[in-house]
Structure 1
């Protein structure tokens, strides 16, 4: 049975069966970024979805609640966070032909403990005025001295930068990654500070010429009147590894160990990888669908095409402790 037929069968079953319970979600993502797709699920199945925003302490809360937790699903971003909830033993495996057919193997857990929903590329924001087209090519080149005093970034200890460094380890080994991190540190225009948007502001202000950032921040800046000028001052560039593609990370979901409404939660998980839901989710978040062929938003499509790196996210998660150590050893944050 192909994916379309699997999804159709799953949806028909959801509609035919009675809605016997809500689905409760703990999310580290702002509810406004998720609500539209949840509304679509409720409209199609009659099953209400309750979102609880937990900015910090997600694992600690699930651990403390144990079997009494009302949460059915967890939704979060970055492979490091997904690995953390798996390592804490607060989630369970989900066996689903729909999920396995829709989500590429490198974007889900080998043990079916977490599943990717969207991807985001870790790219370069480059000044339109001071960086020529084609001047930024590879991640490796960013450590060369031609970029001395021209790079801005957030803390090297942030999950997004640690995941990128983990990808460097995957391509070049620990020693190569240490040299790369030290090279980037030497090329910084200022001490790492702020978030990804703050780096684009620094480019707009002339403090640096390029910065690391996730693609979706461009959408957020363009939608904010106070930040549109920052966004207009840069272009998105998709660097690649010399022997690979552009580094990507993931937003994902997992079923909690308690999951009091397991059947309804599985229906929601399967709905979230349908073409309809993937298009809504990607449009709302300015991210890339994991489902092949699902529609990208017009804005995201305008940023151009790129080839995602093929390093497995599970390998990036395994490399994280080494990334933390290297970042400390090179005194990246000063």
Structure 2
């Protein structure tokens, strides 16, 4: 029997798993990541410990669901991507701290909450995809450079209100302040080849189609496109470049995990968290998702390493997340998506 019971929604999970009958041999996960992306990890954990893992995939509404369930929630762990989503469940009071020497040893300080409310598992860089035909290697070096008029009519990006974009704008605010961030956003908007639209892969497709020359996206999409016969040509039309903030590093974001506030299987859930932080598990997770493991001594797979090396920005991601409201305000003020 498969140890991961994938359920269509959290409401089904809540109906079938009764907190009062919580068992020490299972963990219930609410996940923004699709179950097939984490199943290799949960299968390995179950094989090693005998503890079953039940995963409920949610497209949206994680916070609202947990708030509605309250103390009767069956959720033990919360899996999600992007620092703004991790910070969101923490700010909503839906998590609890975990004191674990194993987690602290495996997860660098900049990739975990200072209050131990969440822990990063893998990272992805927010990079620039550049046309091999129309952009010289080394022509894009900084995020600040994206506002340079030389890129007028040449940039594609997804919506300014998307979590990934807001995280990058938040990081810009962290480094330069809100006033300079607004000027930068206005400059980037002036350089857009088209109205922000689609996902990160759609931007690379637009480069391949000649609609723009550079695009902002996450690194792991390169791996996903190369794995898809219909999208491989898009990926092969671009180079991956790693811009930096002036005087700092490349903006990165995380996939992460948090212990739910009312976890009925707390001890088993912490065991799963510690397993997920292990070098073995992180390398499995990173390989399946074309991301970067962060435990000491771990490495990305060869395909990911082939895109180049970079120095991650050293700012703690909770500091970046603290600027999210200001980032959204600036995006709206400059009418970035207009």
Q: Give the TM interval when normalised to the shorter protein.
A: over 0.9
Q: What is the match of residue 15 of structure 2?
A: none
Deviation for aligned residue 1:169: 0.7
Q: What is the match of residue 122 of structure 1?
A: 126
Equivalent-residue separation in structure 2 for 1:142 and 1:295 (angstroms): 30
Q: What is the match of residue 228 of structure 1?
A: 232
Equivalent-residue separation in structure 2 for 1:148 and 1:20 (angstroms): 58
Q: What is the match of residue 136 of structure 2?
A: 132
Aligned-residue RMSD, C-alpha: 0.9
Aligned with 1:142 (options 124, 140, 146)? 146
Contact kept, 8 Å, 2:75 with 2:262, in 1: the verdict is: yes
The Cα offsets for residues 14-48 of structure 1, whole Å up to 9 and x where unpaired, read as xxxxx932111000001111000111111111111
Deviation for aligned residue 1:277: 0.3
SS in 2 for 1:272: helix
SS in 2 for 1:197: helix
Unaligned stretches of 5+ residues in structure 2: 1-22
Equivalent-residue separation in structure 2 for 1:34 and 1:295 (angstroms): 19
Equivalent-residue separation in structure 2 for 1:324 and 1:303 (angstroms): 31
Q: What is the match of residue 322 of structure 2?
A: 318
Q: What is the match of residue 186 of structure 1?
A: 190
Q: Is 1:42 aligned to 2:49, yes or no?
A: no
Unaligned stretches of 5+ residues in structure 1: 1-18
Q: Is 1:105 aligned to 2:109, yes or no?
A: yes
* 1:146-295 aligned within 5 A: 146-295=150-299
Any runs of at least 4 consecutive aligned residues in structure 1 with deviations exceeding 4 A, and if so which?
A: none
Contact kept, 8 Å, 1:150 with 1:188, in 2: the verdict is: yes
> TM-score, with normalisation over the residues of structure 2?
0.92
- The answer to which of 293-302 and 278-287 deviates more is 293-302
Contact kept, 8 Å, 2:81 with 2:254, in 1: the verdict is: yes
Equivalent-residue separation in structure 2 for 1:54 and 1:48 (angstroms): 20
Deviation for aligned residue 1:104: 1.0
Deviation for aligned residue 1:105: 1.0
Deviation for aligned residue 1:294: 1.1
Equivalent-residue separation in structure 2 for 1:325 and 1:272 (angstroms): 35
Q: Is 1:61 aligned to 2:62, yes or no?
A: no
Contact kept, 8 Å, 1:275 with 1:295, in 2: the verdict is: no
Q: What is the match of residue 333 of structure 2?
A: 329
The Cα offsets for residues 72-102 of structure 1, whole Å up to 9 and x where unpaired, read as 0000000110111011111111110100111
Contact kept, 8 Å, 1:171 with 1:243, in 2: the verdict is: no
